[in-house]
């Protein structure tokens, strides 16, 4: 009888532990999804690959620029390689006096797999000017190298 109770007790403890592990996993997943949603912002397009704003600012030398200036600077970085260029497009939208969204699209890259790239940058005004708070990217592949539509997925 004692062995039976011990085995039942061990089984109950093991089930409880598994339930706790599952609860912890569910909580972690919900927290990660909540963070991702918060990082995207309320209006951030869901089909963009999220990039680190600080790393993006550094890589493209966009620090301390107003949204319009950042868009022009980003486009100029790509203008140095114009072979195969089909189109370039900049969109700057001031959503409120305190927020702005910038989209820079370049199609016809001199790359064997990536046909085009699109960046979406979100800015918020702070006491010292504008701060990039979110950035994402999409790509469009050349025929036979992956997806033909704009997507966060990589080209092959």
Task: Give the domain 47-141 fold.
Answer: Nuclear Transport Factor 2; Chain: A, (3.10.450)
Both structure tokens of 104: 């820079």
Mean pLDDT calculated for residue range 25-51: 57
Above pLDDT 70, what percent of the chain? 72
* pLDDT on residue 147: 96
Residue 95 pLDDT exceeds 80: yes
What tens digit of pLDDT does each residue of 102-119 get? 999 999 998 899 999 999
pLDDT, tens only, 72-94: 999 998 877 777 788 999 999 99
Read off the pLDDT of residues 50-76 as tens digits, 9 standing for 90 and up.
Answer: 999 999 999 999 999 999 999 999 999
Order of strands across the sheet that contains 87-96: 49-51, 129-141, 114-126, 99-107, 87-96
Q: What are phi and psi of 45, to 5 degrees?
A: -60, 135
- Does the structure show a pLDDT above 50 at 32? no
Q: Any idea where the domains of the chain sit in the sequence?
A: 1-40, 47-141
First-last CA distance in the chain:
64
Cα gap 135→151, rounded to integer Å: 15
């Amino acid at each position: 009888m004692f062995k039976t109770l011990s085995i039942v007790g061990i089984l109950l403890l093991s089930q409880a532990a598994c339930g706790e592990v599952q609860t912890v996993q569910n909580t972690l997943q919900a927290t990660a999804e909540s963070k991702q949603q918060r990082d995207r912002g309320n209006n951030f397009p869901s089909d963009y690959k999220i990039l680190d704003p600080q790393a993006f600012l550094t890589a493209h030398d966009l620090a301390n620029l107003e949204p319009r200036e950042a868009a022009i600077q980003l486009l100029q970085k790509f203008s140095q390689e114009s072979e195969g260029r089909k189109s370039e497009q900049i969109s700057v939208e001031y959503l409120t006096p305190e927020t702005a969204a910038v989209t820079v699209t370049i199609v016809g890259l001199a790359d064997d797999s990536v046909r085009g790239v699109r960046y979406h940058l979100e800015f918020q005004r702070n006491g010292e000017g504008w701060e990039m708070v979110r950035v994402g990217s999409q790509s469009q592949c050349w025929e036979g190298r992956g997806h033909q539509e704009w997507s966060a997925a990589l080209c092959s």
